[in-house]
Amino acid sequence: MATITFDTLKFVTRLKDSGLSESQAIAITEAFRDAHSDAEVATKADLREMEQRLIIKLGAMIVVAVGLVATVVKLVH
């Protein structure tokens, strides 16, 4: 998984502009950054990779199922 870019200076500035003190803005920013550093977030690339792996697995399952059906048909006739 990839990390998310977080502009702490911009975040602090926005909080200060909304009326919070600098110390409050910094505390909130640090708490927010810490919370997000622990989170595992999937990126679009992660989702594409997972989709490709699922497609390959599904294709393999279909090939096996068709092979089993063909074998059963040969055994029955």
Helices 22-38 and 8-17 pack at an angle, to 10 degrees, of: 140
Q: How is the chain split into domains, by residue range? A: 1-41, 42-77
- pLDDT value, residue 4: 66
Q: Over its length of 77 residues, how does the chain's per-residue pLDDT go in tens digits?
A: 556 677 889 999 999 999 999 999 999 999 988 887 777 778 899 999 999 999 999 999 999 999 999 999 999 98
The answer to whether 12 touches 25, Cβ cutoff 8 Å, is yes
Looking at this protein, which amino acid is placed at residue 42? A
